Amino acid sequence: MPNMSLKKVPAPEQKPEVRNKNFEEVTLCYTYEMAVTEAARCLNCKHRPCVGGCPVSVQIPDFISLISKGDLNGAFEAITATNSLPAVCGRVCPQENQCEEKCVRGIKGEPVAIGRLERFVADTHRALGAQRPNKIATNGHKVAVIGSGPAGLSCAGELAHAGYEVVIYEAFHRPGGVLMYGIPEFRLPKAVVLDEIENLKALGVKVETNIVIGKLFTVNELFDEMGFEAVFIGSGAGLPNFMNIPGEALVGVSSSNEFLTRINLMKAYDENYDTPIRHSKNVAVVGGGNVAMDAARSAKRLGAENVFIVYRRSESEMPARTEEVHHAKEEGIDFRLLTAPVEIIGNENSTVKSMKCIKMELGEPDSSGRRRPIPIEGSEFELEVDSVIIAIGTNPNPLIAGTTPGLKTNSRGCIATDDNMKTTREGVYAGGDAVTGAATVILAMGAGKQAAKAIDEYIKSL
């Protein structure tokens, strides 16, 4: 019997006043009963609009109907046939703009909670100590993957399934890309990411950390001296943008990348680690995306009394996921919308003491389609803060492009590719944020997967 409730089964959550003091996961997993009740809301539509909304075409009605039948192994197999990181995607994908946006149950009421169900299947599979996949017999061909974020991991997984010997080279000491160094533990526990990476290793993928391509080896050396027949670049977009306003060099100003890397990868929130981090009373986070929400919520958890999100447009233009904005508000983050920084002011020790801001109003849409913010003359004011975290976007690091002759990039430093993720350098493919600029986990995974298909065709054609 279908469950015709207009509302999703709510996911259990830590209370806001408790969770804003710890780094444990905010949203908890459905129980079996909750998952089966929610799965019964799916109508198993013949035309499958939800599948069309998923960038990697997970066969959503199939896995949901297997949950209803209690076949959780079958559900896991149905998801992982096209998505190699289900526990990650179930947690961080913007489902509200993808599969759930297309769900017919959303026309009258809330869509089916596809993300929560995906996470339930992945988490249950892990909790039951499911077997690692078997190593695949090698076809003798070698491919190098640069970067171990979702693009590199999905490309490596697809190629390993096809029998390729894949080595991932990662600059950091731990693999996972933004999943490890950017997205905080309270949204995406690192044990979940590392477990998904273990599955890839079981297939035969080798992961070499602390290796910066462009410094230790060049792309040309991967071909000429190390015997790789193709290379995939999934090096992300880790170079932070700054505002270019006075005061950005003051003590107490940092990029969200640096702040979040210290917290996530270097565990600055854990007293057993001696990673230095600034504990501030009043923090301004500039930006309105997921990164800004993560930085603000992390600053609150480190003990800040007041954390401000300073964003120059209104809430409806905010790029952050609705759920993240909602959670941030519940946790006491103070949103200063239609507000732009003009100067960061320091004290006699060159340390931040306040940020001068100006009020904005919205004009006509700009090239991004969002309404252009226009300063309101004479509306300047000072926000008293002792730290400023800048989260206004990132671009790709130029290191690899600068050391790979023949590899073209665009004006933002993004690697140029054709529709099959083939770059302008023979045998080199690229995907994820390194190509698109900062985007999403699932788009990076989709690009990695598409590149793997193109690499397979390329090597077979040699």
The residue range among 36-44, 135-143, 318-326, 397-405 that interacts with ligand SF4, by the rule CB under 6 A, is 36-44
User: Residue 328: which of ligand FAD, ligand SF4, none does it interact with, CB under 5 to 8 A by kind?
Assistant: none
User: Residue 136: which of ligand SF4, ligand FAD, none does it interact with, CB under 5 to 8 A by kind?
Assistant: none
How many residues bind ligand FAD, per CB under 6 A?
42
Strands 394-395 and 239-240: antiparallel
Which residue's CB is nearer to ligand FAD, number 64 or number 167? 167
Residue 290 CA from chain centroid, whole number: 9
Q: Which helix (H) or strand (E) element contains residue 355?
A: strand 352-365
Alpha-carbon gap, residue 292 to 325, rounded angstroms = 10
User: Residue 177: which of ligand SF4, ligand FAD, none does it interact with, CB under 5 to 8 A by kind?
Assistant: ligand FAD
Least separation in angstroms between residue 228's CB and ligand FAD is: 14
Site map 52..81 versus ligand SF4, x via CB under 6 A: --------xx--------------------
Q: Using CB atoms within 10 A of its CB, is residue 350 exposed (0-12), middle (13-18) or buried (19+)?
A: exposed
Alpha-carbon gap, residue 117 to 35, rounded angstroms = 6
Is the alpha carbon torsion for 339, 341, 346, 350 positive or negative?
Answer: positive
Least separation in angstroms between residue 113's CB and ligand SF4 is: 9
Is the alpha carbon torsion for 16, 21, 181, 208 positive or negative?
Answer: negative
Considering only residues 169-188, where is the footprint of ligand FAD by CB under 6 A? 169-172, 177-178, 182-183
Could you tell me which of 149, 150, 169, 261 has the C-alpha nearest to residue 211? 169
Q: Which of 53, 157, 432, 446 binds ligand FAD (CB under 6 A)?
A: 432
User: Residue 197: which of ligand SF4, ligand FAD, none does it interact with, CB under 5 to 8 A by kind?
Assistant: none
Considering only residues 130-149, where is the footprint of ligand FAD by CB under 6 A? 146-149
Q: What is the CA radius of gyration of the chain?
A: 23
Q: How many CB atoms lie within 10 A of CB 135?
A: 12
Alpha-carbon gap, residue 97 to 265, rounded angstroms = 29
Residues that bind ligand FAD (CB under 6 A): 92-94, 146-152, 169-172, 177-178, 182-183, 212-214, 234-236, 238, 260, 290-291, 294, 321, 397, 399-400, 432-434, 438-442, 444
Residues that bind ligand SF4 (CB under 6 A): 42-45, 48-50, 60-61, 103-105, 112, 114
